Amino acid sequence: MEKKRMIECYRRPAEDKSLRNWKKVRHPMRVLFNFLVITFCKFMPDIEFKNRLYRAIGMKIGKNVTINGTNLDVFFPELIEIGDNTIIGGFTTIITHEFLNDGHWRKGRVKIGKNVMMGALGLVMPGVEIGDNAKIAAYSLVNKNVKANSFVGGVPAKEIRNGGKLKST
């Protein structure tokens, strides 16, 4: 796994340090619309219709993508890009923003390559890029970039195998 995440940092005024002031980051109606679409899609069985709705809120979704009951970022879903033939397991969370205690907030594009398989209940942090043909184990925290053709897992996710060869410990 590569170490660097590509994120943009923003500073809020001293009086806006709380997450309670999120409305100054993104228009509430936009967040509400994204929330309704994403929540509806969690329960929608028709995969192609679901992908059309995701595209309508700005996500870049490739062909033959399966997103299974996933929690997606309601603030900036347009920063999520998923390549062809990718499967994302149930209850996985993909976020593109973070609010911090010190008055900063960050956002970053999440790019998931082609033919990626993500196990259930994982978490993908902002600014992460997952390479083509990568496999992510269930319950993994992906807080760093993942190389193409690798198998990662754990909290935080670490490389288990790369290109068919088990990583020695």
Percent of the chain with pLDDT over 70: 91
Is residue 137 helix, strand or coil?
A: coil
70 found inside a domain: yes
9 found inside a domain: no
pLDDT at 6: 86
Please state, in angstroms and rounded to a whole number, the distance separating the CA atoms of residues 135 and 63: 18
> Which H, E and C letters describe 80-133, residue by residue?
EEECCCCEECCCCEECCEEECCCCEEEECCEEECCCCEECCCCEECCCCEECCC
Question: For residue 144, what are the domain limits?
Answer: 27-159
Higher pLDDT, 22 or 35: 35
37 found inside a domain: yes
167 found inside a domain: no
165 found inside a domain: no
13: cis peptide before it, omega within 30°?
A: no
**Cα maximum dimension of the chain:** 52
Provide the CATH number for the domain around residue 146. Answer: 2.160.10.10
For CA atoms 89, 134, 5, 166, the dihedral sign is positive
Calculate the average pLDDT of the chain.
91
Cα 81 to the chain's mean position, in Å? 8
pTM: 0.90
pLDDT at 167: 60
pLDDT at 30: 97
pLDDT at 23: 87
User: Is the model's pLDDT at 154 over the cut of 70?
Assistant: yes
Per-residue DSSP letters for 10-60?
EE--GGG-SGGGGGGTS-HHHHHHHHHHHHHHHH---HHHHHHHHHHTT-E
Query: Domain tally for the chain?
Result: 1
pLDDT at 71: 96
User: Is the model's pLDDT at 162 over the cut of 90?
Assistant: no
Work out the pLDDT band at 5, boundaries 50, 70, 90. confident
> Which tens digits make up the pLDDT trace of 54-106?
999 999 999 999 999 999 999 999 999 999 999 999 999 999 999 887 778 89
User: Is the model's pLDDT at 9 over the cut of 90?
Assistant: no
User: Is the model's pLDDT at 2 over the cut of 60?
Assistant: no
